[in-house]
């Protein structure tokens, strides 16, 4: 009995002194603020891309009457083209449920846009993401182009790779060649995935800035540390539509 008590005491003591691992991704406002962002990607029939965007432009007010549109883009480079990518903001999951129910009952939305345009789409994809606590959603100073970079990180979550990832992003931010719009961590979809949305004045200014970044020792060191936790990455060049809040 004494041996058992001794073992139990040591176990409790060890548990009490176990270091807690925190990450800037998983702590802070995210715990008290339920706001999330839905990434939606529509793959469209090549001959119907322009028609789809024009139809949405005419009816966007019907959709934004229910929830906030952050941005709406067409994919110019990177992976499959003829895609529309858009981001929607919700207060919480209950809010999204309410919005979806309201849209289903909105005859004007259903008849003027949704039903006539379903045939123009090949595929729809959706991800639920949180804006990481150390990053606020920023609005660019003027019109430009956007780059969405998607990082698939190793399993283990932000407690493993969150801090090194933040350092790598900030190393690019410091150079000032591109404006950081937002960093989003996926909650539903492929897990351990982070989306980083950048704004650039043009595709050429982005290329020049990247060339400069690759020669900066601060970026090189931060990126080398971060790639130890990286599985894959990909990017897309996005062109904002005329009705996109983010230009």
Q: What is the pLDDT along the chain (247 residues), one digit of tens a residue?
A: 444 444 444 444 444 433 333 445 554 444 457 999 999 999 999 999 999 999 999 999 999 999 999 999 999 998 788 999 999 999 999 999 999 999 999 999 999 999 999 999 999 999 999 999 889 999 998 999 999 999 999 998 888 888 999 999 998 898 888 999 999 999 999 999 999 999 999 999 999 988 888 888 888 888 888 988 999 999 999 999 999 999 9
CATH class assigned to 36-240? alpha beta
Cα separation, 110 vs 87, whole angstroms = 20
Cα separation, 122 vs 51, whole angstroms = 14
The pLDDT assigned to 220 comes to: 86
Mean pLDDT, the chain, whole residue set: 86
The pLDDT assigned to 175 comes to: 86
Sequence-distant (6+) residues with CB within 8 A of 68 are 88, 89
The pLDDT assigned to 10 comes to: 47
Using one digit for the tens of pLDDT, what is the confidence trace for 62-94? 999 999 999 999 999 987 889 999 999 999 999
The pLDDT assigned to 212 comes to: 85
Q: Would you call 213 helix, strand, or coil by DSSP? A: helix
| Residue at token pair 């931010």 | 173
Cα separation, 85 vs 111, whole angstroms = 22
Using one digit for the tens of pLDDT, what is the confidence trace for 204-243? 999 998 888 888 888 888 888 898 899 999 999 999 999 9
The pLDDT assigned to 147 comes to: 97
Give the predicted TM-score (pTM) of the model: 0.84
Please answer whether residues 123 and 43 qualify as being in contact, where contact means their C-beta atoms are separated by less than 8 angstroms. yes
Strand boundaries in 132-164, DSSP class E? 145-153
Q: What is the DSSP string of 55-74?
A: HHHHHHHHHHTTSEEEEEEE
Cα separation, 242 vs 192, whole angstroms = 33
The pLDDT assigned to 143 comes to: 95
């Amino acid at each position: 009995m004494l041996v058992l008590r001794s073992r139990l005491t040591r176990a409790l003591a060890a548990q009490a002194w176990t270091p807690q691992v925190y990450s800037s991704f998983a702590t802070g406002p995210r715990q008290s603020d339920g706001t999330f962002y839905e990434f939606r990607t529509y793959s469209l029939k090549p001959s119907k891309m322009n028609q789809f965007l024009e139809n949405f432009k005419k009816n966007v007010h019907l959709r934004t009457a229910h929830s906030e549109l952050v941005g709406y883009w067409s994919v110019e480079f990177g992976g499959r083209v003829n895609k529309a990518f858009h981001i929607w903001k919700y207060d919480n999951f209950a809010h999204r449920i309410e919005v979806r129910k309201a849209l289903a009952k909105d005859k004007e939305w259903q008849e003027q846009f949704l039903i006539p345009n379903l045939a123009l789409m090949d595929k729809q994809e959706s991800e639920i993401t949180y804006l990481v606590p150390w990053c606020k959603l920023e609005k660019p100073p003027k019109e430009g182009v956007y780059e969405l970079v998607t990082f698939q990180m190793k399993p283990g979550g932000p407690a493993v790779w969150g801090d090194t990832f933040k350092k790598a992003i900030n190393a690019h931010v410091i150079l000032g060649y591109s404006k950081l719009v937002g960093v989003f961590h996926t909650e539903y979809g492929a897990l351990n995935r982070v989306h980083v949305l950048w704004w650039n004045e043009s595709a050429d200014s982005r290329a020049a800035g990247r060339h400069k970044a690759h020669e900066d020792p601060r970026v090189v060191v931060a990126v080398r540390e971060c790639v130890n936790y990286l599985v894959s990455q990909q990017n897309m060049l996005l062109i904002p539509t005329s009705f996109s809040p983010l230009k």
